[in-house]
Amino acid sequence: MHPNQVAELIQSALPGAQVRVESEDQTHFAAHIVSSAFAGLRSVARHQLVYRALGERVGREIHALSIEAQTPEEQAARASVSREARS
């Protein structure tokens, strides 16, 4: 499965999300997702949303999936800390 296909499935389930999916072998994936749908959810619940979006493909076409799931606010705070660390 191509990383763009994985990203499209996630974006369909989480409208408005910023999604970047990477894969070197098209079976092991790393997904970086920023969505307001994650607000108020713990890590496990965020991952469950992503797994639901991918359905039965997980364990078949998708053998492994690393997920980084953030709200827009968390992404902004992380970017701010990174900028400060470089200063």
The CATH number of the domain covering residues in 3-77: 3.30.300.90
Count CB neighbours of 3 within 10 A: 17
pLDDT at residue number 48: 97
- In whole angstroms, give the CA distance from residue 54 to residue 77: 28
In this model, does residue 69 exceed pLDDT 90? yes
- What is the domain partition of the chain in residue ranges? 3-77
Confidence tier at 20 by pLDDT (50, 70, 90): very high
- In whole angstroms, give the CA distance from residue 66 to residue 2: 15
pTM for the structure as a whole: 0.89
Query: Which of 78, 53, 75, 81 lies closest to 29, judged by CA?
Result: 53
Q: What are phi and psi of 17, to 5 degrees?
A: -70, 150
